[in-house]
Structure 1
Amino acid sequence: MNPITITIESKPTTINFDGRELQVQKLSIPLPFGRKPTDISDIAACGVEAVYVTEIREMDPEEFDGFKLNLGKSRDWLKGKGGDYWDGRLCVMVRAPGRPYLFIDPSGGDSVRYLARLG
């Protein structure tokens, strides 16, 4: 299996969200998001939206593989993050060597509510 190589162009941006300034990376392309997917192959797009990355979560391939199969599980590292912003979603980017990039908007919760993938 060949490793996945993806180049993501993004622009550093400061936004105002809920009365506070956030430093984000806005992706150069919008992505289709799925709502409450069961796994990463279950992205029935509910719309193409801009992606604002608020943080990056690094995983090893084994951790990623377990994560992608159980997206509805509660996770402390997602709690209180994400949300709608202007033309897109505030997301945690999840990446692991040889795996697609995931963009997760938990919309303030602690599990995956909206998901986009690249790769």
Structure 2
Amino acid sequence: MTHMTITVERTPRTLELPDGAIEVIELGVLLPFARKPVDLNEVGGYGQQKVFIIETREMSPAEFDGFAATLLKSRDWLKGKGGGAYGGYLCIEISAPGRPYLYINPEGSDYARYVARLG
């Protein structure tokens, strides 16, 4: 099996929002987001959006698999986060060894309302 490494530029930015300025990391690629996907099989979506990472959550492979299989499940750590700004989505980045990166924009909800994947 051949493995490939993809490097994506990550640029620190300060975004001025109505509630004040926030520090984010902007991904150097645009990603397609799926709206209300049940699981990773439905992630891919349409269009291309900027991704602004507002926080990163690291998971074990087992935690990631459980999360990815139940994207519509309510989770306290997503509640009130996300949204849109500057032509992109304010996202929580999810990472786990051996798994794709996920970018979650709960749009203020407590579940993964908009999801993109990288890898």
Q: Distance in 1 between matches of 2:103 and 2:109?
A: 15
**Mapping for residues 37-116 of structure 1, pairs under 5 Å:** 37-116=37-116
Scaled by the length of structure 2, the TM-score of the pair is 0.92
Residue 14 of structure 1: aligned partner: 14
Give the structure-1-normalised TM-score. Answer: 0.92
Determine the C-alpha separation between the residues in 2 that align with 1:96 and 1:4: 17
User: Structure 1 stretch 50-59 or stretch 79-88: which is displaced more?
Assistant: 79-88
How far 1:3 moved relative to its partner? 7.6
List, as ranges, runs of 4+ consecutive aligned residues in structure 1 with deviation greater than 4 Å: 1-6
| Identity over aligned pairs, percent | 50
State the Cα distance separating 1:18 from its structure 2 match: 3.0
What residue ranges of structure 2 are gaps of 5+ in the alignment?
A: none
CA drift of 1:31 comes to 0.3
Structure 1 vs Structure 2 CA RMSD: 1.7
Q: 1:100 touches 1:117 (CA, 8 Å); kept in 2?
A: yes
Taking structure 1 as reference, are residues 115 and 103 closer, same or farther at Cα in structure 2, changes over 3 Å only? same
Q: Deviations over 1:8-30 (max 9, x none)?
A: 32100000123211100000011
Matched, 1:24 2:12: no
Tell me how many residue pairs correspond in the alignment: 119
